[in-house]
Each structure stands twice: as structure tokens, then as C-alpha cells.
Amino acid sequence: MIDGLGAVQDVLVVGGSSEIAHAIVAELAVKRRLRRVVLAGRSMDSTVSSMRSLMSDVDVQAMSLDLTKTGSIAATLNAGWGNGFDVVLLTAGVLPDQSRAERDPAVAVDAALVNYVGQLEAGTAAMSKFREQGRGVLVVISSVAVERPRVDNFVYGSGKVGLDYWAIGLADSVDGKAIRILVVRPGMVRTRMSRHLPEAPMTCDPSDVAKAVAKNLVRGPSTVWVPSRLRWVMATLRHLPRPIFRRLSPTGAEPSGNAADPR
């Protein structure tokens, strides 16, 4: 369980190959109380081996989980829950080629399953377990893209909007209880998923997201922006007239296929 100093012992990561998730786990391990990390996703063996080499004193395990196989996700998590988790990270995400996603229903649906529907099932299952054990923190990696649709990534953003909306409502529903929801809205983050794109203003690193999570894990606001000043930038951009905002949206540098697949 999370102790009085905020040290975490058991973590489940949905989206086990996510660089943001790995940075968060590393940050949580700083207090040297972390004992078990379960990485859930597809083809986790090499990822588990890499994390084990960095955290020799932590029990790192793999859980096979495909977020596109809805209907079976909850059963998989329930079967692997064991003695429980202090923290569950929802960090899965896929950035589809926007042009392909506008024309190919299969690409659009795959993105929606990974970015929203699959994580909705996983998060709902985790919340049921948290209620049984009477405690827990669910960390949901959303995106600043939820603030307003852009022409270059609205398929990706639409999935994040659904996840964000669900998580915000969930946070309100457990307010005052021993279960906490932390919604994190990063701007552009330097990861495999974004490396083909030109950097946006205020681009950050996975470690910046990790520090924000660690700082707000057990207390503080239930929604945080990374970097924090993005909150005020988006408060302005949200109210720009659509023709003006449309011209601000980048339209180039599309990926070929999925740029990254941290499921």
C-alpha cells in the first residue's frame, strides 16, 4: 500500500511499453519502496527484460493484454490482480496517420479501441478492484488534445476526449474516498510516438510527466497539465474563433502507419 510518505509498492501499467509509463515507474521507485511492477500489453518480454536490468530490486512481470480485444480485458486484469495494486497507470496510446484514419475505418476504429474503449474497460475493472480493497490510485494519461480538435490529429484526440471525460467524471464520483483519480494532460512529449513530428512550443520529456504524477499522486488537484502553464495557454486557445484556430493547426509531417504502439 501507499505509505504516509507517498511511497508506492505495487504498480500495474496498462500500456506497458509506454516511455511515459517507464518514466513514471522510475520516479515512483526513487523512494525505494517499490516492490512489484506488472507491465500489461502486447509482446512485453523485451520491455520487461529492459526494466529488470534497470530495477534489479523490483519484481517486474509481464501481462499479455491486447486493448483491441474488448470483452476479455477485464477478465485478464482480474486474473492477474493477485494481492492488489496501489497504483494503476492507463498509459496506452497509438497515434494513427490522420490521413489514413480519415479514409480507412479499420485504422480509425483501432485507434479508438486503444486510446479509449480498451482503456475504459481496463480502468473500470481496476476501479472495481480498488473498491474491493478500499484504496488505490488510477492515473490516466490524457492529452492537451482534448481541449480542442485540430485538423491534424482529431482521430487521435477523439479517443483521448472520451477517456478524459470518463476519468473526470470518475474523479468526481469518488471525491472524499480513499480512491483517487489523477488525470494528466501533457502537451507534446518527446517519445517514439512524436519523433517524426516537428516540436511544438512547450514540448516536454517523459520525466517531466513523471515528476508531475509523483507530485500529485496522493494529494493536490485531480487534473494536471504538463507543463503547468499549458492550462492557461489552452484557456485562451479554446475560445479563439474556429477559422483562426484552424489556421494555427499544423497540417504537415504525417506519419506512415502508426508512429508508436505502446499498448
Tell me the whole-structure pTM to 2 decimals. Answer: 0.89
Q: How far apart are CA 237 and CA 194, in angstroms?
A: 22
Tens digits of residue pLDDT in 63-75 = 999 999 999 999 9
Q: Is 116 a catalytic residue?
A: no
pLDDT at 44: 87
Listed in sequence order, the residues at least 6 apart from 14 whose beta carbon sits closer than 8 Å to its beta carbon are 40, 41, 65, 67, 77, 88, 89, 90, 91, 92, 119, 122, 123
Torsion of the alpha carbons at 126, 127, 133 and 134, rounded to the nearest 10: 150
Whether 218 is in a domain gets the answer yes
Active-site annotation holder among 156, 226, 230, 255? 156
Whether 255 is in a domain gets the answer no
pLDDT at 237 over 80: no
Whether 2 is in a domain gets the answer no
Q: Are 244 and 236 in contact (CB under 8 A)?
A: no
Tens digits of residue pLDDT in 96-110 = 999 999 999 999 999
Strand-pair partners of 60: 37
Q: How many domains does the chain have?
A: 1
Whether 3 is in a domain gets the answer no
Whether 256 is in a domain gets the answer no
Q: Which has the closest alpha carbon to 34: 15, 51, 17? A: 51
**Structural domain containing residue 206:** 10-248
**Higher pLDDT among residues 230 and 141, named by residue:** 141
Sequence-ordered alpha helix ranges (H) in 55-113: 73-79, 98-103, 105-112
Which DSSP string do the residues of 48-62 spell out, in sequence order? HHHHHHH-TTSEEEE
Task: Look at 7-11, 198-202, 255-259 and tell me which has the smallest mean pLDDT.
Answer: 255-259
CATH number at residue 244: 3.40.50.720
Whether 222 is in a domain gets the answer yes
pLDDT at 257: 35
Whether 209 is in a domain gets the answer yes
Whether 253 is in a domain gets the answer no
Torsion of the alpha carbons at 168, 258, 48 and 226, rounded to the nearest 10: -40
pLDDT at 169 over 80: yes
Q: How far apart are CA 185 and CA 147, in angstroms?
A: 9
